Structure formats: C-alpha cells, structure tokens
Amino acid sequence: MRLTLKIWRQALASQKGEMRTYELDDVSEDMSFLEMLDVLNERLNSEGEEPIAFDSDCREGVCGQCGLMINGEAHGPEVTATCQLHMRSFKDGDTITIEPWRSDAFPVVRDLVVDRGALDRIIQQGGYVSVNTGSAPEAHSVPVPKDDADRAFNVATCIGCGACVAACPNGSASLFMGAKITHLGLLPQGQPERDDRVVNMVAQHDHEGFGGCTNIGSCTAACPKGIPLDVISQMNRDLRTALRNGH
C-alpha cells in the first residue's frame, strides 16, 4: 500500500507543534500500525531526520503504553490497542492523520508522546489495598460470590491506556477511575478503605484537570478492553455513600 501520513511533530513540550506530511510506499497489510511507524522512522533515520517519538512497550495489547489518535479516533478504527491495529484496516492511497492523545491532563512531551502521569497519581490516591494479607490464604477461606468475582475480574482488565480520556468530549477519566474503584469495591480486601478510596481518587481526578462525565459513552466505545459504562454509576454510588458517611 501507498499511504500519506499526516503526523503531529513537536520537538519539546515548550515549543509549538505542527502537522507534517510523509509519503510511505510498500506498506504491508500484515504490519501492525506501530511497525508501520517503525518503517517510517528507519527511513527518517537514513535521511538524517529526527525520528517520530511515540510510546510502546509490550506491543501485545497488555501494557497500555501505546495510544494514538488515528483519523480522530482513539486507537484508530478498530476497538483495540494501537499496537494491535493492523494496516489491513486501511486501503491503498489512504491519508492517515496521527496525533497524540487529546486532553489537557495529558500534556505533550514530544511528538506523539504524552505524559499520562495524572492516571498514576489517581491510583496513588486509592487504587490499592493496604490490608496485611500475609501469605497466600486458602482459596475458599474468603468466599466471594461468583457474580462479584467475575465482574471484578472483568473490570480489572483496564490497562490504563487513556483511550477513554482521549475519546471523551469532556476529557474525563471517569471510566478508568470507575473501573479501579469497582474492581476493589467488589472484593473483601477492598472494603476497609472503600470510602476513603473513592473520595480521594475523585478529588485527585478533578485536581488533575480532567473533565466531568456526562454519560456520552465515547469512553467505553473506544476502550480496547470493553470496560462497561456502568462502572461510572458504581463509582457515583460509592461516592454518595462515602459522603453520607462523613468522608
């Protein structure tokens, strides 16, 4: 395939960025999207031009490091992580616009790389349990209803990629935060800090400059792990309960 790539270039966070256009020939439909960018960077290196900076790590859709706005969609036209998007999703002659995540809470570091430390700081405010569990307990010593265990496992699959934030017109991280709060709130180990957790995480979310949720649903539509929208309802219920309890 022959493609026209319009890519955001920004040398430093303090400098003004711009879109630049690159032509790329002989793109295989079997390449992943990031492999296609690797090929472009090899060419730029050979031409003495600075390669395009972008985030990646596992390239297996697990770590959540990759993340690009592709033709205005978080992770591109398929519901998957960017590293698992393949070029067969595009056609010969296509023009593809590639930008970093769109959110004031995710400032651009360089080119397509953004600082997603705001999500880490939300987790630091409560996305953990501090009870002393000691050695691994016998599997049946703390019964957990099957429905709760299944739901906790499903929402725990959130990889923190930030697609929900980038897709949301309000730039809200409510789906990410709701997944973490719901996951821990369903398990016995998460109960001692349940009220403090939701109050502190929501406060940090707002402090970081994320927007509020208006239930548009763009977040769950873009989520590569299919986190359901109702985790936000669970988070709101937990928050109301915590505030009634005096937190």
For the chain, the domains span: 3-110, 116-129+144-244
pLDDT at 246 over 90: no
- The CA distance from 197 to 177, in Å, is 11
Chain segment 32-47, per-residue pLDDT in tens: 999 999 999 999 999 9
Per-residue model confidence (pLDDT) at position 139 = 67
Per-residue model confidence (pLDDT) at position 49 = 96
Cα three-residue angle 181-106-121, rounded to 5 degrees: 40
What's the pTM value of the predicted model, to 2 decimals?
0.93
- The CA distance from 32 to 223, in Å, is 18
CB burial of 218-227 (b: ≥16 within 10 Å; e: otherwise) equals bbbebbbbeb
Q: Average of pLDDT values for 65-83?
A: 97
**Comparing C-alpha atoms, which of 22, 52, 20 is closest to residue 34?**
52
Q: How many residues does the chain have?
A: 247
Per-residue model confidence (pLDDT) at position 129 = 87
pLDDT at 228 over 80: yes
Per-residue model confidence (pLDDT) at position 142 = 80
pLDDT at 126 over 70: yes
Superfamily covering domain 116-129+144-244 = Alpha-helical ferredoxin (1.10.1060.10)
Beta strands in the chain (DSSP E): 3-9, 18-24, 69-70, 73-74, 95-99, 108-110, 113-114
**Comparing C-alpha atoms, which of 187, 176, 190 is closest to residue 229?**
176
CB 16 within 8 A of CB 39: no
Q: At what angle do helices 146-155 and 174-185 cross, to 10 degrees?
A: 150
Residue type, 138: E
Domain 3-110 class?
Answer: alpha beta
The pairing of beta strand 3-9 with beta strand 95-99? parallel
Instruction: Give the N- to C-terminal CA distance of the chain in Å, as an integer.
Output: 58
CB 171 within 8 A of CB 211: yes
Q: Average of pLDDT values for 67-78?
A: 97
Q: Which residues pair with 3 in a beta bridge?
A: 24
> Percentage of the chain surpassing pLDDT 90?
91
Mean pLDDT of the residues in the chain: 95
CB 6 within 8 A of CB 71: no
